[in-house]
Each structure stands twice: as structure tokens, then as C-alpha cells.
Amino acid sequence: MSRRTQTDMSRRTYLKLTGASSAVGLTGVAGCLGGGGSDTTITPGTAPGFPPFEMQEDGELIGFDIDLLEAVVGETEYEIAEWETFEFDSLIPALTQNEEIDVIAAAMTINEDRLETIAFSDPYWESDQAILVREGGSFQPGAWEDFEGVNVGAQSGTTGAGQVESNLVEPGLVSEDDYRTYGSYVLAVEDLENENIDAVVIDTPVAETFAANRDVEIAFVEETGEEFGFGLRQGESELQTALNDGLATVRDDGTYEEITTTWFGQE
């Protein structure tokens, strides 16, 4: 069975299990090379465990970012090599230090700190941060001030972790001992369900996916207006231009909308 057929079947199974969840898309997008081999082959990297953007299902790497980057690269003169997977906070070192990959497709927020180290494509998605709690649980915060003395988790290296640090740890509402970081949000949500922590801070569309599948719910949303982009090494303007042009093409021809509907359903 071909990879595409397997992936299509996985998508259908995934959507049947999860149902449609809402999300908001955005504009333009993307990227160049080192770990790929030839001058026109690029190696993509991602961090599974962030549904529906990237995840493993029955050994298959699937998700919105996977489909989108492959569609975008398909509109360029580049070819895409096999995907490499890492924990989220290992992606930038894999790109810049070891050059194991040439582009990051992992729902990565474009921000000033990351722009000091890497470049980004045009943005392709917009997100806020959501606070997940146990469904029907006693802890139902409506604002950061309600977190005093509770245990909270986030995935290491993410903007969700940054929100915890700036809104909870630094003001002293949550102690360092009560703040846990994880290599994957799947582990964080499992700890939440098992009552080892009281809340998880995570990107809104991913929070919606977990809420559709697990005994968790969104308590409130912090409007951060983040934009996701494909990450690439600085100075690789040809790849960046090619990816941006490819993204514009898939937006114009309806492919972006089709991929969005596949993974998020229709509002």
C-alpha cells in the first residue's frame, strides 16, 4: 500500500474519531538545505505529539503540517526527503548546529527570540494559547490569578511554556517545583488526566483536539495572536522564496483550504 493511501486512511480514521474542531487559518509562507543530500532535496523535521498538526498513528507520521509542507514543496523545484522527528526543543539545534534537517514544520511560532537564530517562511497559521483542565474538575480558572498554588505543565521550548513562565512562575503565583515541562504535550495531557497536574497551557487548535478526544476541557484562552511559520537556516533566501511562493500557490489553488478542512473540518 502506498504512503499516500495509508495516510488518507489514517486521516479518515482520525476525523471519524475526533469529529470536526474549529480553528482559524492565516496568510502566505516558506524555506533551503543541508541534511537532504542533493542541492534540490530538503529534509524536513517535526515533533510528533501535537495533534492535528503532527502526530504518529499506527507508525505513520501524519498531520496538517506534514500535508501542507509536502504540498508547498511540490510547487517548487525542490524535492522532499524522508521526515526526521525530534522533541520540540531539539528542532532548532537539529537545523542550525547539526544540519540534520533543512526545514522545520512543527507549528512553530514566529517570535523575536527564534528570529535571532533561524529564519521563517511567511506565516501559515494563527493561534492563541488555551488553558486545559480536567473535564468537570474542581479547578476551573478564569484568569492567571486563579493559578496560585496549583500544578501546571507545558511542553519544553514552546510558547505555552513561555506563557507559564511569564504569567505564573515569574510573578510567584506558581513555584518552580509546581511547574512541570514535558517532551511532548501528549505526556502533559496524560498527567493532567491522571491528576498529577491541574492545568496545561497549549496552543488553541491543539487544545481543541485534545478536548475532543480526552477527558479535558478548555478553561479559558489567552489571546496571544501567534503566527506559525516553517523554520529554516538564516541566509537561505532561495529556499525561503521558493517556500513562500509555494505557499501562495497552494492558497490560491484551493489546496490549503482542502488540507485545512481535512484536519480541522469546516466551521
The model's pLDDT over 209-236, given as tens digits with 9 standing for 90+, comes to 999 999 999 999 999 999 999 999 999 9
Residue limits of CATH 3.40.190.10 in the chain: 3-126+226-264, 128-224
Average pLDDT, the chain: 87
The answer to whether residue 1 scores a pLDDT higher than 70 is no
| Measured CA distances, 110 to 105, 220, 225 (Å) | 12, 23, 11
Could you tell me the three cell numbers for 178? 509546581
The answer to whether residue 260 scores a pLDDT higher than 80 is yes
C-beta of residue 223 within 8 angstroms of C-beta of residue 176? no
Residue 12: pLDDT band (50, 70, 90) is very low
Q: How far apart, in whole angstroms, are the C-alpha atoms of residue 71 and residue 69?
A: 5
**Element at 162 (helix H, strand E):** helix 159-164
Q: Residue 16's pLDDT is what?
A: 37
Q: Residue 267's pLDDT is what?
A: 47
Pair type for strands 44-46 and 84-85: parallel
C-beta of residue 204 within 8 angstroms of C-beta of residue 130? yes
Q: Residue 266's pLDDT is what?
A: 58
Among residues 145, 141, 143, the alpha carbon closest in space to that of 133 is found at 141
In the CATH scheme, what architecture does the domain 3-126+226-264 have?
3-Layer(aba) Sandwich (3.40)
Residue 11: pLDDT band (50, 70, 90) is very low
| Residues 34-85 pLDDT 10s | 554 457 999 999 999 999 999 999 999 999 999 999 999 999 999 999 999 9
Q: What is the CATH number that goes with domain 128-224?
A: 3.40.190.10
- Mean pLDDT, rounded, for 98-112: 96
176 CB-contact burial (10 Å; exposed 0-12 / middle 13-18 / buried 19+): exposed
The answer to whether residue 21 scores a pLDDT higher than 70 is no
Contacts of 152 (CB under 8 A, 6+ apart): 164, 168, 174, 178, 179, 180, 197, 198, 199, 200, 201
Q: What are phi and psi of 201, to 5 degrees?
A: -105, 125
